[in-house]
Each structure stands twice: as structure tokens, then as C-alpha cells.
Amino acid sequence: MKKLRRESISEQVFQLLKEKIIKGDWGPGSKIPSENQLCELLDVSRVSIREAIHKMVALAYWKPGMVRGPLSGNPWQMHILMNWFLSFCWTGQILSRFWNTGIVEVGTIGIGVEKATAEDIKGLEEIYREMEKNKDNLKEFARLDLHFHRALADIADNPILNKVNYIINDILEETMRKIVEKMGSSDGLYYHNRIIEAIKMRDVTKAQEVMAEHLERTIARMSTP
């Protein structure tokens, strides 16, 4: 097995630039710093900057000199367009109601209750215990919280949902970070424990009710200043 190489400077630059877009620091149509400015700001070579920019352009994150908006008809760019759609919908609270309530999470938990094996439940409980241990480490808690929801999706084993989760991974991570940063860890612990108990009882209705309540409460709290 080959040893993994250390991440290149250009890859680090690419990740940094992509993060600026995902977090909304640079919105569609925003002018971006020139190559010279980026070299100075990041203290890296022009070659590294150009490699990162070429990758950004290839993946449709931006066109030269400007962040690209959600306008493209190329199927292979759909993952970028969905990232844009979800990031801006979250800001307007549309994403929360359309994506989470009923369509994805509540439907997923219903399937998961019926499919979950004893090993699956044990896995959820292990994640929950790690969440308890890291309740004061919000960065790690956010990672574990998202891991819990992904585990539920894995249990449901819906290939479309799994693909979409992969496509919007960056947005999901950033969204969960913002949620936990604002709300803390208590809600996640409270509702995830109830979800596990409902799965153990094979109570589809209860599990869906708890998930819906969890999501609606999150939406309400994230909507307030």
C-alpha cells in the first residue's frame, strides 16, 4: 500500500478558497482578489494560486475574476449547483423546511426503524456516548452530531439519499457547525437519545414524531437572532 502524500500547498489554497464561498464570505457575482493579491494574502507562490484557481474554475465554483452563481446546465456541475442552492436556502430558512422536515430526515428515520439491526443500534449508541463525552467540545460535538444523522441514513440505505449527502457534504458540515455553535449540545443529546429509544421499540410513528420535533425546534431557534 502506498503511503499518503502530504497535502499540497495548492490543495490547501483550494480548500481555503472553497471555504470562503461555502461560508458565504464570497457570494455569487462577488469579485475575488487577483492572483497577485492572493499571493500576498496567503504568502504562497503564483503557481500554487493558479493551480487552485484552475480547480475552482473546473468545478464551476467561479469564473475568472468572479464567483459563479447557480447558473449552469452541465450535469457534471450539479453538485456545485446544489451546494449553492442549499447554502442560500439555509439563509432564508427554506432549506430547513423543504429539506429536513418530512422529505429527508423524517422519512429516513421511518425506514431506519424497520431496517435497524442490533449492530446498527449499538453503533448509534456508541456515537451517542461520544457525543456525551464531547458535550463541551462543540467542534467535535458538531462532527459527531452529523455522524449520527449520517448513520441513520446509512441504516435506511437509500442510494439517492446517500448520494445527495455525499454531494452536499461541505454544506452539511458547515450547517451543523453553525447549529451547534448557536444552540450548544443539550438539544442534540436530548433528541438523539429519544430517537435511539424509539428505534429500539420499533416504533416508527414515535421516531418520526421525535425527529420532526427535533428539526422544528432547531429551525425555530436558528431563525431567532
Q: Which residues sit opposite 67 in a β-bridge?
A: 62
Q: Which has more confidence, 36 or 63?
A: 36
Q: Which has more confidence, 97 or 208?
A: 208
Q: What is the CATH number of domain 9-69?
A: 1.10.10.10
Query: Which pLDDT tens digit goes with each residue over 87-141?
Result: 444 444 444 444 444 456 787 888 889 999 999 999 999 999 999 999 999 999 9
- Ordered by start, the domain boundaries in the chain are 9-69, 79-223
Which burial class, exposed, middle or buried, applies to 34 when counting CB atoms under 10 A from its CB (0-12, 13-18, 19+)?
A: exposed
Query: Domain 79-223 belongs to what topology?
Result: Four Helix Bundle (Hemerythrin (Met), subunit A) (1.20.120)
Mean pLDDT lowest for which of 7-16, 79-88, 149-158? 79-88
Query: Which pLDDT tens digit goes with each residue over 86-100?
Result: 444 444 444 444 444
pLDDT at residue 76, rounded to an integer:
33
pLDDT at residue 79, rounded to an integer:
46
Query: Which pLDDT tens digit goes with each residue over 172-202?
Result: 777 788 889 999 999 999 999 999 999 999 9
pLDDT at residue 216, rounded to an integer:
82
Count of CB atoms situated within 10 Å of the CB of 21: 23
Max avg pLDDT among 23-32, 131-140, 160-169, 177-186: 131-140
Q: What is the DSSP string of 183-222?
A: H-SHHHHHHHHHHHHHHHTT-HHHHHHHHHHHHHHHHHHH
**Cβ atoms 220, 97 nearer than 8 A:** no
- Fill in the DSSP letter of residue 29: T
The torsion of the CA quartet 110, 111, 114, 118, rounded to 10 degrees, works out to -100
